Amino acid sequence: MGKVLALDIGGTKIAAAVVTESGMLIGRQQVATPRGGAEQLAIALDTLIAPYRHLVDFVAVASTGIISGGRLTALNPANLGGLADFPLQECIQSIADLPCVLLNDGQAAAWAEYQALSDDRNSQISVNNMMFVTVSTGVGGGIILNKKLLVGNHGLAGHIGHTLADPHGLLCGCGRRGCVESVASGTAIGAETLGWKQPAAAAKVFEMAQLGNLQAENIISRSAMAIAQMLADMKMALDLEIVILGGSVGLAVGYLERVIGAQKALPEIYRVPMQAACHRQDSGLLGAALWARSSL
């Protein structure tokens, strides 16, 4: 069906690559997500798209935020430096002048990871209900129910970062108190260190925990526990058969093991088998490309 340029817009980074029909990524580029509002985001998108626009037939986008009616509406604007609303489709079309298909980043990654599970010839089981969870700038997700990706009429399906972790917790950027995202995300992990002599970003907190720092370990364990509890709720709601974990925090050394460890404290019916995303940081790019190919 021709070549596709895939973009993955996250709260921390924007990636772009040409995705071939066999699912190979060519010319992958990545820039930091600007925090200067709509104009800066449009400039970053132009930088990534312009070099490829004559080489591809359409553009596929996985993006953080609620993706509906061609717009990106932030559920948690703080993840995008306060940007609450952005005309994503219009912006990309004005840069590329090509057909463009948009999907939420967690939903896109879920789609790619589900295809990978279905393609796994060694696997004897066929999965019907699956969830992808990204623990990254925020906490996002995508749900496969009865083998179909759940998008929702308003693009909201899979926003599991905004389910409740702690009714007495911090106010989340979405306006609700104690969301999973406000406890478990990379942003939340970093924010927990703001009272330290030397505040640390999530990657540093992981390093410190590896070296035996108890405060760092507690922050990461609390994040992993919130994810395990949220997954227990989701299993009860959806009869999940497997959960795939992604995002820089989700993929960080030892994080998956901590979530599995936290699940072990729950009765067995609440536990769900878990795996790291097989496409690692590229699930969103690949999922957007696959989704666009099947919908254009």
Please give the annotated binding residues for Zn(2+), written as ranges: 162, 172, 174, 179
Residue type, 262: A
Nearest distance from residue 259's CB to Zn ion, in Å?
20
Site of tokens 């490829």: 52
* Number of neighbouring beta carbons within 10 Å of residue 222: 18
Q: Contact positions toward ligand BMX, by CB under 6 A? A: 10-11, 64-66, 74-76, 79-80, 104-106, 134, 136-140, 159, 161, 181
Annotation: binding site for ATP: 6-13, 138-145
Decide: residue 277, CB within 10 A, 0-12 exposed, 13-18 middle, 19+ buried.
Answer: buried
- Of the ranges 10-18, 54-62, 163-171, 226-234, which one interacts with ligand ADP (CB under 6 A)? 10-18
* Number of neighbouring beta carbons within 10 Å of residue 176: 17
Nearest distance from residue 50's CB to ligand BMX, in Å?
23
172 binds, among ligand ADP, ligand BMX, Zn ion, none (CB under 5 to 8 A by kind): Zn ion
- Which member of 117, 133, 184, 252 binds ligand ADP (CB under 6 A)? 252
Site of tokens 């990534």: 48
Nearest distance from residue 134's CB to ligand ADP, in Å?
6
Q: Give the contact letters, 151-190, x = binds to Zn ion (CB under 5 A), - = no.
A: -----------x---------x-x-x--x-----------
Nearest distance from residue 243's CB to ligand BMX, in Å?
16
DSSP state of 164: B
Decide: residue 191, CB within 10 A, 0-12 exposed, 13-18 middle, 19+ buried.
Answer: middle
**Should residue 202 be labelled a site residue for ligand ADP when binding is judged by CB under 6 A?**
yes
Close Cβ partners of 270 (under 8 Å, ≥ 6 residues apart): 232, 235, 236, 263
